[in-house]
Amino acid sequence: MSPGAGLLNRDAAARVDSARARARHDALVLAESESLAQPVTAHRLWPVQSAHGARLDLGERLLDVPGFADYSGEIASVATGACSLGPQFEQRVASLFHAQRRLLALELDALGTEWLFALTDLLVARIRRQARRAGLRASAELNPGDEGLALGAQRTVLALAGAGSHGIKVTPGGMLSPVKSLTFVIALGRALPESSAARCDRCGARDRCRIRPT
């Protein structure tokens, strides 16, 4: 590659980065000015009646969590949670795509995902504090669809979290509606292994994710 071509490529990359930065700023202004985020959270704690490998008997329901199988006998209870930003984010993203404002739509969608993760992190931190006060350790959270928790568990986890009254639903394909919603499970026990794995480290899409921290 000639020096001139390399310079042109750097200039093009700089223009792309500049355009994305402007779109990111505009997305933040739009989200805040239109109050697109309508955050809701729900969580419940379920004592484990019995455990047989991946299958946990929580009394009202059975929950299969292969990710907990290696230490299921040490689990005293399971925390289930759900978070959502409401439907306005996805509706505004759709309207921007319809108006051919694709870059702004992509940045707004990414911003919504970041805010959803931040909301979830706050709820998970609350659960971990409660566990520590009770003298318990908390596992890493698992989301339906992760390795260790099948997507088919989505409906059960949502029901166990008591999130139906907040307008969060499961689609026939096992996804959540509103789109900017998330559910999780956390194991609690006195002798659970410590886990330091971050969400991005556990995600199968980490190598191609646009919003992963660098």
Per-position DSSP letters for 74-129, written without gaps between them: G--EEEEEEEE--SHHHHHHHHHHHTT-HHHHHHHHHHHHHHHHHHHHHHHHHHHH
Query: Helix, strand or coil for residue 50?
Result: strand
Give this prediction's pTM.
Answer: 0.84
SS3 at position 169: strand
pLDDT in tens, 14-62: 565 788 899 999 999 999 999 999 999 999 999 999 999 999 999 989 9
Among 63-67, 149-153, 189-193, 197-201, which is the least confidently predicted range? Answer: 197-201
Work out whether strand 181-189 and strand 40-47 pair parallel, antiparallel, or are unpaired: unpaired
Count of structural domains, the chain: 1
Vertex 208 angle, CA 203 and 211, to 5°: 80
Flag whether 208 is in a domain: no
Give the separation between CA 108 and CA 114, rounded to whole angstroms.
10
- Confidence tier at 7 by pLDDT (50, 70, 90): very low
Look at residue 102 in the predicted model and tell me its pLDDT. Answer: 95
| Domain of residue 79, residue span | 3-203
Q: Is residue 212 part of a domain?
A: no
Mean pLDDT of 95-124: 96
pLDDT above 80 (res 99): yes
- Does some domain include residue 214? no
Within 10 Å of residue 20's Cβ, how many Cβ atoms? Answer: 15
Q: Could you tell me the CATH number of the domain that includes residue 195?
A: 3.40.109.40
Q: Is residue 19 part of a domain?
A: yes
How confident is the model over 112-118, as a mean pLDDT? 96
**Could you tell me if 67 and 142 are in contact, meaning their C-beta atoms sit under 8 angstroms apart?**
yes
* Helices and strands in the chain, H and E counts: 5, 9
